[in-house]
Amino acid sequence: MALPLMTLPRRAAPVLALMLWALTPAPAWAQEGLAGLNGPPPAQPYLSADGSFALKVPQSWAIKEERAHKDRILLRSLMAPDAFVEMRRIAVSPGARPKQLALIAKDARLGKLPHFKQLLVREMPVGGIPAASIMGTYWYQGNAEYPRVVEEIFLVGQTEGYVFHFECFEPLAQTLAPEVNAIYSSFVPHPTPMAPSPTAPQEEGDVWDKLPF
């Protein structure tokens, strides 16, 4: 937030923090979108189980494959376990536009999150594919003390589309932005044959079962 809150009474801090959020301009990461920030290059190549896309995963992120959905993966930050990126392939109608899908997502899902506040909608290419991003914040379970950032990026090719869904605790967004951007920018649709990532999907009983939500 714009001002330090350590000297405020414990009960007053969250309320004032939200007031400051409403009165101050959106932070740089929100003004530009996470996909617009530069970050260090990621480390590990990863190929989806169905071969429909590849991306690179920072070493501080864990991979979990959806066994029933080979065109979907979930990435979880090991440094901030409540932060995650889901990537999946979707079917799209002929003539679908990325920005149209982003606005539909807002009306159908994002806008229904508790106290959802839209920060940004923009268009840009990702992996050489036309894409659009929608970003906002919401209160997890309606609790003002747990504001979360959510961003969805829709990529639309000729016959198929892809969706990135990112979430994290709002105060961590700027810290995580370089790594999240590295994941976004490394995306490649239908890559030439490559070896799968040496990182095995996480098994039951690991960080995936120790989430705060």
Give tens-digit pLDDT for 104-162: 999 999 999 999 999 999 998 888 889 999 999 999 999 999 999 999 999 998 778 99
Q: How many domains does the chain fold into?
A: 1
154: number of Cβ within 10 Å: 28
pLDDT of residue 189: 86
Range of 130's domain? Answer: 26-209
What is the token pair recorded at 168? 């994290």
Mean pLDDT over 62-78 rounds to 84
Whole-Å CA distances, 145 to 15, 119, 138:
8, 19, 11
| 15 located within any domain | no
Q: For the chain, give the mean pLDDT.
A: 74
pLDDT of residue 23: 33
| 11 located within any domain | no
| 8 located within any domain | no
Task: Render pLDDT for 24-54 as a digit per residue (tens, 0 to 9).
Answer: 344 443 444 444 434 444 456 788 888 888 8
What CATH number does the domain containing 56 carry? 3.40.1000.10
| 14 located within any domain | no
Predicted structure pTM score: 0.71
Mean pLDDT over 182-191 rounds to 88
75: number of Cβ within 10 Å: 22
